[in-house]
């Protein structure tokens, strides 16, 4: 595959994140049996999708700003853990039991780890 380059005009911390994201994207792919669990983390919220890369469809999605969670969950480790459990329940209703975890270049620590632990506690395997 063609090597992607990250612009030098981007600040160093964002450059490091983009490099990790690009490096991970080469090896993480979702299939019918094991779709990809992609996450996005911001200062205001946390979002996740279960994606089948072959069909290019989103099977399940969840976000901390949905009506169901708004005002009930904080954007901290405990809230994100509960969000992971809720995603696992939604995935189970769509008959998805195993996924490939795409951390999107974020370090596996803090809220990202809490979300993964919550999804595992809810019944997802990865």
Q: Model's pTM, two decimal places?
A: 0.83
Instruction: Name all domains of the chain by residue range, CATH numbers in brackets.
Output: 29-122 (3.30.420.100)
In angstroms, the CA 77 to CA 83 distance is 10
Q: For residue 2, what pLDDT is reported?
A: 61
pLDDT over 80 (residue 6):
no
Question: What is the crossing angle of helices 77-93 and 111-122, to 10°?
Answer: 40
Q: For residue 91, what pLDDT is reported?
A: 96
Greater pLDDT, 79 or 18: 79
Of 51, 52, 76, 50, whose CA–CA distance to 64 is shortest?
76
Token pair for 123:
């019944």
Confidence bin at 45 (pLDDT 50/70/90): very high
């Amino acid at each position: 595959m063609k090597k992607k380059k990250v612009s030098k005009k981007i600040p160093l911390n964002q450059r490091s994140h983009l490099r990790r994201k690009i490096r991970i994207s080469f090896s993480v792919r979702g299939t019918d049996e094991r779709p990809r669990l992609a996450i996005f983390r911001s200062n205001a919220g946390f979002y996740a999708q279960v994606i089948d890369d072959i069909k290019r469809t989103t099977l399940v999605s969840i976000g901390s700003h949905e009506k169901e969670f708004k005002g009930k969950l904080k954007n901290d480790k405990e809230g994100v853990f509960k969000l992971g459990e809720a995603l696992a329940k939604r995935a189970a209703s769509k008959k998805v039991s195993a996924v490939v975890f795409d951390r999107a270049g974020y370090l596996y620590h803090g809220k990202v780890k809490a979300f993964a632990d919550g999804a595992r506690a809810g019944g997802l395997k990865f």
